[in-house]
């Protein structure tokens, strides 16, 4: 499936991206190639292929996920640029208006 320039402009707009003419053409070609590959995969007959559930069920070859000892809080906070009340302190990312 070949995308048009208008398709890519619409996708860029949805993603809040401003693209140059060169980027629009490059992404049009790349996205069209990806969609063609997906279309090719969809043509495969997978009726006899059992679903893979190894990531969520069955025996796992990895070690069991069990809690273990951790570093002391003071050691963890020693390298932090700012702390407060035994916690990492990070700057706010939103300006919240006060109720005053």
Dump pLDDT digits (tens) for 35-78.
Answer: 999 999 999 999 998 887 666 666 666 777 789 999 999 999 99
Supply φ then ψ for residue 89, to 5 degrees: -110, 125
- In order of start, what are the domains of the chain with their CATH numbers? 5-42 (1.10.20.60)
Mean pLDDT of the chain: 88
DSSP symbol at 61: S
Q: Identify the CA nearest to 9 among candidates 20, 1, 59.
A: 20
Confidence tier at 16 by pLDDT (50, 70, 90): very high
C-alpha to C-alpha distance for 77 and 62, rounded to whole angstroms: 30
Supply φ then ψ for residue 17, to 5 degrees: -110, 140
pLDDT tens by residue, 80-89? 999 999 999 9
């Amino acid at each position: 499936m070949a995308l048009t320039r208008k398709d890519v402009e619409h996708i860029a707009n949805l993603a809040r991206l401003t693209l140059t003419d060169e980027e629009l053409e490059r992404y049009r070609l790349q996205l069209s190639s990806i969609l063609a590959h997906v279309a090719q995969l969809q043509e495969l007959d997978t009726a006899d292929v059992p679903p893979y559930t190894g990531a969520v069920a069955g025996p796992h070859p990895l070690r069991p996920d069990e809690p273990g000892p951790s570093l002391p809080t003071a050691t963890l906070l020693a390298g932090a640029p700012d702390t407060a009340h035994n916690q990492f302190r990070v700057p706010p990312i939103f300006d919240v208006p006060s109720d005053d």
